[in-house]
Amino acid sequence: MPTTELIEGADDGAIAAWFAERLRAALGVCDRIAVTVPGGSTPFPIFDRLAREDLPWQRVSVWPGDDRIVAEDHPASNVGKIRARLEPAGARIVPLTQDAAPPHFALAWLGMGADGHVASLFPNTDPRADDPLPVRRLTPDPLPPEAPFDRLSLTIPALVDSDEIVFVIRGDDKRAIFEAALRAEHDLPVARLLRAARHKVTCFC
């Protein structure tokens, strides 16, 4: 398991500034980069702040780590909400499709659910670190009542094909699950991903 840094008490502005610095560093090395970002409620206020950062966004491709299989203008669409925030800044937004070929990511930004899921790799989907596919269509069980839809999700190999991984986690219960994963005390999807990660992991909690 790679080195993991836990950063406590950072607000949305501090996280956006951290992310912007990572993007600047990556863009100093590569002409174009790709990142993957989460959906859910937590990241969107951070995206709003990040979009105001002075960055060469036209050199950045943004992939959702997962998405609900709905139209982009549906309230449950991750890519639609990501596009609304980051495309006006100049970023290229790449919708997730079942036959997509994800690139190597400069940074993989992930959230985590209370059941230990990451992206849409829920416990019932039995995500594998050696999955031969980079993208899978999955059905969470139970279906979250706030978003009862099938999903497309990057798999563990696609997510860890990145220079760095960052989690943004809210709440003591989720933090306890994450820290237990670091101690290899369970086999939830987050633990499987952390075992497979090859580079530094940062967790804002």
Given this model, what pLDDT does residue 41 score? 83
Tokens of 94: 């790449």
User: How confident is the model at residue 152, as a pLDDT?
Assistant: 98
Q: How does pLDDT run across 35-65, given as a tens digit for each residue?
A: 999 988 889 999 999 999 999 999 999 999 9
CA distances from 149 to 48, 96, 110, 120, 139 (A): 26, 15, 20, 11, 7
* Residue that has been written with the tokens 């952390």 in this structure: 194
Cα distances (angstroms) measured from residue 11 to each of 15, 42, 78: 6, 11, 22
The pLDDT score that the predictor gives to residue 1 is 66
Residue 104 one-letter amino acid: H
Which regions of the chain are under pLDDT 70? 1
pTM: 0.94
Domains and their CATH numbers in the chain:
4-204 (3.40.50.1360)
